[in-house]
Structure 1
């Protein structure tokens, strides 16, 4: 993931430079905040990709001398089916509508969103690798 971390580090550097220039030249703070948040998000992605590269080493895609047949085989575990994404979407929709229509709907949305998110995260936590 070395290439991805370099890509996101370049994006973060771009947002840092443009955010500094915008903050210096512009009179309104909203654009500066937006560019700062974009810098932080792309920097976080660069840090994550670099950490994964250090932790797991080079991938097959990172090497130039690799043959296609060396990458054959199963990739990873993919969930066959789950209702938790639907529950998360319903909870997020109710939460968003609750911001518009009332606190009672926010509470219902939060009550649907939390179990959906917890179930979505931990549904395959006990499986054997």
Structure 2
């Protein structure tokens, strides 16, 4: 995370310098100055997050130049073989979107199907061990 910290720290410094120069050059035009300040704040937040992660967890195998690929590899997660819920979610979203155009009754049917699909996604393998 140390490399990422320096990367986003550099981006934050770039946006800070750019916002100061832009504010001075543009006679304090508020929209561009505000956008650059927000970009500075967002990149500073990401830099701070990576800094804290590096302090908490230490170095990763990716941080070492002599690291091997197998040092980071581990078991993958569970992937379901088949599921009807992606199709149900897509149909529900489509009907809900058409309901925005054609009427409330179609929208409510779509929301019901969409809710059923999302509920199925969340709880389909809820009883699975591990």
Distance 1:17-1:78 versus aligned 2 partners, 3 A rule? farther
Q: Secondary structure at the match of 2:66?
A: coil
Matches within 5 A, 1:94-113: none
Farther-moved stretch of structure 1 (27-36 vs 65-74): 65-74
Q: Aligned equivalents of 1:128 and 1:26: distance in 2?
A: 61
Q: How many residues align?
A: 102
Q: Deviations over 1:62-121 (max 9, x none)?
A: 0112122322322x65786887xx69xx6xxx8xxxxxxxxxxxxxxxxx8xxx8xx99x
TM-score normalised by the chain length of structure 2:
0.59
Which structure has the greater CA radius of gyration? 2
Q: C-alpha displacement at 1:3, in angstroms?
A: 0.5
- Residue aligning to 2:20: 20
Residue deviations 1:2-38, cap 9 Å, x none? 1111100000000000001111111211100000000
What is the CA distance between 1:56 and its match in structure 2? 1.0
CA separation of 1:79/1:26 partners in 2, compared to 1, >3 Å: closer, same or farther? farther
Looking at structure 1, the residues matched to 58 and 129 of structure 2 have their Cα atoms a distance apart, in angstroms, of 23
Would you say 1:3 and 2:34 are equivalent positions? no
Partners of 2:51 and 2:129 lie apart in 1 by 27
Secondary structure in 2 aligned to 1:58?
Answer: coil
Q: Distance in 1 between matches of 2:56 and 2:16?
A: 27
TM-score w.r.t. structure 1 length?
0.59
**Counterparts of 1:3-82 in structure 2 under 5 Å?**
3-27=3-27, 28-74=29-75, 77=77
CA RMSD of aligned residues (A): 3.6
How far apart, CA to CA, are the structure 1 residues paired with 2:35 and 2:45?
15
**Residue in structure 1 matched with residue 102 of structure 2 by the alignment:** none
